[in-house]
Chains A and B, each alone.
Chain A
């Protein structure tokens, strides 16, 4: 957090933030919902990074998980269904000083907000994006989501869903200018923390897909996901997501994957047999639109007047 600088001085913090400085209200998510774990890990990260709550903005759409900003004592924007990305991009565009997080769900991101999702990936603005994917619509009471598995029985698909789901990792990796794509799960808090942390540290659009349980509408699926550890294969690399000592003992399956290898990342994402956890892809050199957006800040009134007068001259009679 702190340390001596090269000139043997150090910036003393004016305030030491604790978890309570980042939390607000009592989350109204169901007991056992994966959202709680994401909230806790995020607050922990903010404390670890000592982010100024006043300089931090959580932007969300609509859905269970999009209530998230209401539980953060930072600035928050709980906007419209599917529209978290454009709002977050607008917030960041001329405010490089702000830490901007996007909280979105599978319906919010992959269905109604799919268009904005694709383009937000391409813009590659410095946003930390958490997609809380429980494969079901919860707030509206159990409808199939675009990430629901084939055969999902829901109120809108009583005979089971018949269209294959969108794989959010695969889709993101298919979009031009993707720069950080990682996957984690709500029942692996240590891995989730490390993943969100790596995402926050990445300068660009950090897309973190969080596989989640919905204890109400996806009960059996949740149990199966959390208990069948064999289905999870952890991506291992010196530039990937670190496991942590405690956690690495419980990891059974690992595979080596260099996160700069895009085609291998895509192959892994398309593997229907295994679920890979960790960093699929990172490109630190991808062009960032927010750098362009904030490249001409702070013009004085005199500068503006000069430009405007020069324009007037072109139209002068």
Chain B
């Protein structure tokens, strides 16, 4: 990728043979509001539709309109496309499109680029009336070149102004056209994509955007000596491409749940946007509650009344829902709780990824509050886990949490089109008369399970209470009855665990190091493990989907490895700091739980930088753990 690129070569057309590559990482960065994400998402969708593997990561500032031309306000998107399936954001970018010379610095701070990265830079700032801007631009050009970037200045504004009056609106589609040319994308598919994005807009808007697309495409054709081709693998299977929040929303529809009760919170809200539209058409309603607490209370009310409901939130919302979550477990009311995790604690990093809610999901409520906690590792799982969550919630009469995170929420990835099954949708609720002698908490001694009656069911009347209660549901403070009820509520999950299999091991079932992951880090860990294994390192990995109860057999798996280390995106004390020792070190969240569960001395690699983990970071962590030089 370090070949010099000749610009504005008069013979460009003749010499532009596409370079075959197996994958590329492209970033588009701009000020907030310039449409970089729409451009990147479209580019990803077009690529996916052509048959490439795709993964996207949005680069989102926390503010809606941060100051222009600032490194902190960088807004944009990373698109990784390849011949094979792509499962993570990868390492440094191969090509950047930057709409000003300051925004790349936000990403440089995050080590997103490397020596040789191609930087396609808007050149209008070179002629800016403000001399300070002109100086900054000139300085940045020098700096970029010193960093080894292959900078190509591009008259994006000038070209767009030939078509539209305000280039700020529309430059993104011009860039899309340019990228389509560079990566030999189908112009026809790109046009269709634009028609789809702007389907609610007028013809004149659509035509202007298509004109911009074509202009960008033609300009690149005539002026850029830069062309890549990423071959596709033919597949018979139908695929869908969407982000994790869209997958969650469609999962809710597929699960047959009729009520989603939520309160707006980043980064979970977009799931409810799609759901509000689709659920209404599919026989359900999204309720925007007055607050997080009311949102879950409403959901619990609907569930209690036989309409198992879902509430969708993020970390601060989980904190507020604590009391109701305890009630749902205590009163054994089915409920699906989706937590799209973000950086914490407190308001934390609203738009950034973190796997920081595991402990609060497991132990966040006062008293013994067993429940099922699942963690989706892919966008496909975001869809399917919601369906499973509802089934488990009803079968085990319990809240079921589905953990996702900001990385999955906005990341796009193709997955096989699900084949809809009618048993995903709820069976009609049995409203036949209740047998009077069945108590509402008629716990089965062996499994802890009991059947519940639903309002409307004749003879099944009982009063739900969060107070300690006996099998009749009557308030009871008797010591043995509270002990029994607590045991029964716990026993359900021991029964459930018996239905689970040990997690599959990627690699050998023994070796020097086992990496344990959960959630959205799956793709990066898998890729890192492959790289390390290819270098001869005896490392394997497992990836957990069930966090409570854990899949069985973990200790047995761990014991066959010399060392075990979790890889997570949440806080842990770095052991190389002299302040920390074994007696005070705080471990990352999964490591804490696994250490307690298995009594194995499990280490962790984690950080809270608010970024998805790259395969390279994980490979480095593996080598570091094994004392191998990089």
Do B285 and A293 touch across chains, with their CB atoms under 8 A apart?
yes
Interface bits B578-604 vs A (CB < 8 Å: 1, else 0): 000000000000000000000000000
Check A87/B300 contact, CB under 8 A, given A303-B283, A304-B256: yes
- Identify which of B235-243, B482-490, B506-514, B544-552 touches chain A: B235-243
Main secondary structure of the interface of A (DSSP, over half): helix
Q: In the complex, which of the residues A87, A91, A298 contacts B283, with contact meaning CB atoms closer than 8 Å?
A: A298
A231 to B630 CA separation, bound complex (whole angstroms):
87
Interface: B233 (CB within 8 A): no
Q: Which residues of A contact B324 (CB under 8 A)?
A: 80, 83
Nearest CB in chain A to that of B457: its residue: A54
Check A93/B414 contact, CB under 8 A, given A70-B465, A76-B464: no
Interface: B282 (CB within 8 A): yes
* Most A Cβ at <10 Å: residue of B283, B290, B459, B461: B461
Q: Which residues of B contact A316 (CB under 8 A)?
A: 238-240, 417
Do A303 and B282 touch across chains, with their CB atoms under 8 A apart?
yes
- Identify which of B60-68, B120-128, B301-309, B336-344 touches chain A: B301-309
Do B290 and A317 touch across chains, with their CB atoms under 8 A apart?
no
A43-86 residues at the B interface, CB under 8 angstroms = 52-55, 57-59, 69-70, 72-80, 83, 85-86
Query: How far, in Å, is B552 (CB) from chain A's closest CB?
Result: 34
Check A95/B293 contact, CB under 8 A, given A86-B301, A304-B253: no
Q: In the complex, which of the residues B258, B458, B475 contacts A94, with contact meaning CB atoms closer than 8 Å?
A: B258
A272-317 residues at the B interface, CB under 8 angstroms = 292-293, 296-299, 301, 303-305, 307-309, 311-312, 314-317
Do B301 and A93 touch across chains, with their CB atoms under 8 A apart?
yes
Check A79/B466 contact, CB under 8 A, given A94-B307, A116-B290: yes
Q: In the complex, which of the residues A95, A292, A293, A305 contacts B420, with contact meaning CB atoms closer than 8 Å?
A: A305
Do A77 and B49 touch across chains, with their CB atoms under 8 A apart?
no
Interface: B505 (CB within 8 A): no
Check A315/B240 contact, CB under 8 A, given A54-B459, A86-B297: yes
Do A308 and B294 touch across chains, with their CB atoms under 8 A apart?
no
A303 to B284 CA separation, bound complex (whole angstroms):
12
Do A98 and B305 touch across chains, with their CB atoms under 8 A apart?
yes
Q: In the complex, which of the residues A74, A292, A304, A311 contacts B425, with contact meaning CB atoms closer than 8 Å?
A: A304
Q: Which residues of B contact A79 (CB under 8 A)?
A: 297, 300, 327, 464-466
Q: In the complex, which of the residues A53, A297, A298, A305 contacts B461, with contact meaning CB atoms closer than 8 Å?
A: A53
Do A317 and B461 touch across chains, with their CB atoms under 8 A apart?
no
Q: Which residues of B contact A88 (CB under 8 A)?
A: 301
Check A296/B284 contact, CB under 8 A, given A70-B474, A90-B304, A315-B240: yes
Interface bits B104-141 vs A (CB < 8 Å: 1, else 0): 00000000000000000000000000000000000000
Query: How far, in Å, is A76 (CB) from chain B's closest CB?
Result: 3
Interface bits B445-479 vs A (CB < 8 Å: 1, else 0): 00000000001111111111111000000110000
Q: Which residues of A contact B203 (CB under 8 A)?
A: none
Interface: A246 (CB within 8 A): no
Interface: B323 (CB within 8 A): yes
Check A95/B294 contact, CB under 8 A, given A90-B261, A296-B285: no
Q: In the complex, which of the residues B250, B284, B294, B466 contacts A311, with contact meaning CB atoms closer than 8 Å?
A: B250
Do A90 and B464 touch across chains, with their CB atoms under 8 A apart?
no
Check A292/B297 contact, CB under 8 A, given A54-B456, A80-B323, A94-B302: no
Query: How far, in Å, is B307 (CB) from chain A's closest CB?
Result: 5
Query: How far, in Å, is A302 (CB) from chain B's closest CB?
Result: 8
For chain A, the count of residues having a C-beta within 8 Å of the partner chain is 56
Interface: A25 (CB within 8 A): yes
Do A76 and B290 touch across chains, with their CB atoms under 8 A apart?
no
A82-115 residues at the B interface, CB under 8 angstroms = 83, 85-95, 97-98, 115
Q: In the complex, which of the residues A293, A309, A314 contacts B287, with contact meaning CB atoms closer than 8 Å?
A: A293
Check A77/B304 contact, CB under 8 A, given A70-B463, A304-B283: yes
Interface: A119 (CB within 8 A): yes
Q: Which residues of A contact B300 (CB under 8 A)?
A: 79, 87, 90
Do B246 and A315 touch across chains, with their CB atoms under 8 A apart?
yes
Q: Which residues of A contact B303 (CB under 8 A)?
A: 90
Q: Which residues of B contact A85 (CB under 8 A)?
A: 294, 297
Nearest CB in chain B to that of A94: its residue: B307
Interface bits A3-21 vs B (CB < 8 Å: 1, else 0): 0000000000000000000
Interface: B299 (CB within 8 A): yes
Interface: B418 (CB within 8 A): yes
A85 to B304 CA separation, bound complex (whole angstroms):
14
Q: Which residues of B contact A311 (CB under 8 A)?
A: 250, 253, 278
Nearest CB in chain A to that of B303: its residue: A90
Do B253 and A77 touch across chains, with their CB atoms under 8 A apart?
no
A55 to B456 CA separation, bound complex (whole angstroms):
5
Check A317/B302 contact, CB under 8 A, given A70-B463, A293-B287: no
Query: How far, in Å, is A128 (CB) from chain B's closest CB?
Result: 15
A75 to B461 CA separation, bound complex (whole angstroms):
5
Q: Which residues of A contact B309 (CB under 8 A)?
A: 90
A85 to B418 CA separation, bound complex (whole angstroms):
38
Interface: B422 (CB within 8 A): yes
Q: Which residues of B contact A75 (CB under 8 A)?
A: 455, 460-463
Interface bits B487-504 vs A (CB < 8 Å: 1, else 0): 000000000000000000
Do B455 and A308 touch across chains, with their CB atoms under 8 A apart?
no
Check A78/B305 contact, CB under 8 A, given A87-B300, A299-B282, A309-B420: no
Query: How far, in Å, is B531 (CB) from chain A's closest CB?
Result: 28
Do A86 and B293 touch across chains, with their CB atoms under 8 A apart?
yes
Do B298 and A76 touch across chains, with their CB atoms under 8 A apart?
no
A38 to B483 CA separation, bound complex (whole angstroms):
35
Q: List 10 A-B contacts (CB under 8 A).
A: A57-B455, A80-B324, A90-B301, A90-B309, A95-B306, A304-B283, A308-B254, A317-B49, A317-B240, A317-B241
19 additional A-B pairs beyond A55-B456, A83-B323, A308-B420, beta carbons within 8 Å, are A57-B455, A75-B460, A75-B461, A76-B462, A80-B327, A83-B297, A91-B304, A91-B455, A93-B305, A116-B290, A297-B283, A299-B284, A301-B425, A304-B256, A307-B253, A308-B250, A316-B417, A317-B48, A317-B240
Nearest 6 Cβ contacts at the A-B interface:
A90-B301, A299-B283, A86-B297, A76-B463, A90-B298, A87-B301
